[in-house]
Amino acid sequence: DDMEKQLHLNLLASKPPTAGGFQCGSKMKMGPGRKRDFSPLPWSQYFETMEDVEVENEHGKDIFRIYCSGSHGPVLLLLHGGGHSALSWAVFTSVIYSRINCRVVAMDLRAHATPKIKNPDDLSADTMAKDIGKVVEALYGESPPPVMIIGHSMGGAIAVHTAVANHVPSLLGLCVIDVVEGTAMDALNSMQNFLRSRPRTFKSLENAIEWSVKSGQIRNIESARVSMGGQVKKCEESPSSPGMSNSIDEGIIEEEDEEGAEESNKKKMKEDDQEMKKETLFTWRVELSKTEKYWEGWFRGLSSLFLTCSVPKLLLLAGVDRLDKDLTIGQMQGKFQMQVLPQCGHAVHEDAPEKVADALAAFMVRHKFTEFKEGYLCFECATLGC
């Protein structure tokens, strides 16, 4: 059963709760200590700018939101997983930007926190790959700088489709994070059950952040505080509307000393009063269950497509058991570089941004795509000799 849960991860950029994990009304005790801070963090703490990029298509104009840092060096184009947003790359961006000379562009994919899309329901691999090419063209015109595409989960699949279709002519390399065709295809049958097991609504953004950390979806509290705002939005319907059940509000508690607990209770009552006045609930931005018809198209044939990309490739995995037959053979033949980052959930770049940044920096320097920033010593390179 645990293995089946693990298989779901290759579609969703989320890790489901562990067995006997979070349920509405259950009390999760985190041991002694002060209450942890689940307040949201702003994007501006991690990226330099946020822009809306307008692109033309058959139906008119689409607008995509991007978050950027840097103005020199190769472009790291970051594509998030299903249901997530560009903000899932926030902590990783600040780390990689301190390591190597590069510029970062993290993009909200269609229907994922994007401001205005003419046909938001079309999440086919083909359409999403074309979006990537159009955004790169809108940003850089006819002669784009060298681009390294890095994609997680669904974003990793879209990165491969973008590379194969040559939508980014200045493509330098490809990095795919924790998505493998075999395990992804196996997971599709039970994905809807996993989606149904998630809470439908949260009473606040803080509550959503708290759930994401304590359910194990994101194991890095800092990343959760900046990225969950890209996963959830304020509900358009009122909380009393039908279909708004399965909400998480009570029951996530911390052990505190008695004095702290009393103070916290008063504060909570005050917050609850304010909450009732506001009557605002938060829900998921993307109804992933409605995207089911596209799932197979994202992942079918992905391993062989990945192997046919002529650029240097890096595959980062949360566990070696995720490799399928095609990739195992390709890895033996040296067709790509692979690194396993243990002790991570599926959202590898959120759980371990420093490890992912180290692996990517070493890969890019080894291939002479860029250099380390002055004064930064890469431990991996010092030991392996890049």
With beta carbons less than 8 A apart as the criterion, state whether 218 and 227 touch: yes
* Number of residues that make up the chain: 386
Secondary-structure percent of the chain, ordered helix, strand, coil, rounded to 5: 45, 20, 40
With beta carbons less than 8 A apart as the criterion, state whether 61 and 245 touch: no
Structure tokens at 110: 């269609």
Pairwise CA distance, residues 90 & 46, whole Å: 5
Q: How many CB atoms lie within 10 A of CB 262?
A: 11
Point out the residues that are catalytic.
153, 178, 346
- Beta strand 282-284 with 49-57 is unpaired
User: Tokens 């391993």 map to which residue?
Assistant: 303
Which one, of 298, 296, 330, 321, lies nearest residue 7 by Cα? 321
Angle at 213 between CA 216 and CA 199, to 5 degrees: 80
Pairwise CA distance, residues 41 & 116, whole Å: 24
With beta carbons less than 8 A apart as the criterion, state whether 127 and 272 touch: no
Pairwise CA distance, residues 165 & 135, whole Å: 15
User: Tokens 């996530």 map to which residue?
Assistant: 252
Residue 169 Cα distances to 63, 73, 186, angstroms:
22, 17, 33
What are the strands, taking DSSP E only, across 229-287? 232-234, 247-248, 282-284
What DSSP assignment string belongs to 40-69? ---GGGT-SEEEEEEEEETTEEEEEEEEEE
Pairwise CA distance, residues 192 & 186, whole Å: 13
